[in-house]
């Protein structure tokens, strides 16, 4: 759905900033009636542009303030090996994201843990047991610089 107009983009910006915004408040910001605004939101949901609504968690307050990025190379690129690895990594609760990569590593995983000792636990109980892993390289984030929760699609005035 690449044919989003400016109003659609403003609606998406507003929802990314505050997914709990009422349709009435949103309608006022984008200069539509509440019913017209609701129709647009429903259309964006049905088209799959809006994938869902989630709460943004403060990982530090949950005691998970350490991000670890793990580059993983597999023993082979066989499709069944990729599938088995991906099925296994989806079962690791500390995995925030996992991406199949082009380049030196096959996968890049972001984990969230409490600290170095907690990462050692995750490494021993999960990461070292993932199937078909030839090489694993871990890097600890010192601090976040940019962690956007959404994309800016409309104008800055929507924020």
* Alpha-helix residue ranges (DSSP H) falling in the chain: 6-17, 23-30, 34-46, 79-89, 116-125
Q: Based on the structure, what is the number of domains in the chain?
A: 2
pLDDT given at position 151: 85
Query: How far from chain centre, in Å, is Cα 68?
Result: 15
Q: Among candidates 66, 49, 73, 59, which has minimal Cα distance to 137? A: 73
The answer as to whether 135 is a domain residue is yes
- Which domain does 43 fall in, by range? 6-55
Quick one: 70 and 136 in the same domain? yes
* DSSP reduced 3-state for 145: coil
Residues 75-129: tens digit of each pLDDT: 999 999 999 999 999 999 999 999 999 999 999 999 999 999 999 999 999 999 9
pLDDT given at position 159: 40
Rounded CA separation 67/97 (Å): 11
Secondary structure of 76-119 in HEC code, one letter for each residue: CCCHHHHHHHHHHHCCCCCEEEEEECCCCCCEEEEEEECCHHHH
Quick one: 72 and 17 in the same domain? no
Quick one: 48 and 71 in the same domain? no
Residues 12-71: tens digit of each pLDDT: 999 999 999 999 999 999 999 999 999 999 999 999 999 999 998 999 999 999 999 999
CB atoms under 10 Å from CB of 121, counted, come to: 12
**pTM confidence score:** 0.84
Residues 122-150: tens digit of each pLDDT: 999 999 999 999 999 999 999 999 988 88
Q: Among candidates 44, 14, 42, 16, which has minimal Cα distance to 26? A: 14
The answer as to whether 61 is a domain residue is no
pLDDT given at position 155: 58
Q: Is 34 exposed, middle or buried (0-12, 13-18, 19+ CB in 10 A)?
A: middle
Residue 156 scores a pLDDT above 60:
no
Quick one: 73 and 128 in the same domain? yes
The answer as to whether 70 is a domain residue is yes
Residue 1 scores a pLDDT above 70:
no
CATH classification at residue 87 = 3.30.70.920
The answer as to whether 1 is a domain residue is no
Given a contact cutoff of 8 angstroms between Cβ atoms, the answer to whether 50 and 15 are in contact is yes
Residue 157 scores a pLDDT above 80:
no
Looking from the CA of 146 toward its CB, the CA atoms found within 13 Å total 3
Quick one: 28 and 88 in the same domain? no
């Amino acid at each position: 759905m690449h044919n989003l107009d400016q109003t659609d983009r403003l609606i998406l910006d507003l929802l990314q900033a505050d997914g709990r915004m009422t349709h009435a408040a949103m309608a006022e910001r984008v200069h539509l009636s509440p019913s017209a605004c609701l129709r647009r939101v429903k259309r964006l949901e049905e088209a799959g542009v809006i994938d869902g609504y989630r709460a943004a968690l403060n990982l530090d307050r949950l005691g998970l303030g350490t991000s670890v990025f793990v580059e993983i190379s597999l023993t082979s690129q066989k499709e069944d090996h990729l599938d088995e690895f991906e099925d296994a990594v989806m079962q690791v609760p500390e995995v925030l994201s996992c991406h199949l990569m082009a380049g030196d590593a096959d996968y890049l995983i972001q984990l969230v843990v409490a600290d170095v000792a907690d990462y050692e636990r995750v490494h021993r109980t999960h990461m070292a047991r993932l199937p078909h892993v030839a090489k694993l390289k871990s890097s600890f984030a010192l601090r976040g610089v940019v962690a956007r929760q959404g994309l800016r699609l409309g104008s800055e005035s929507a924020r």
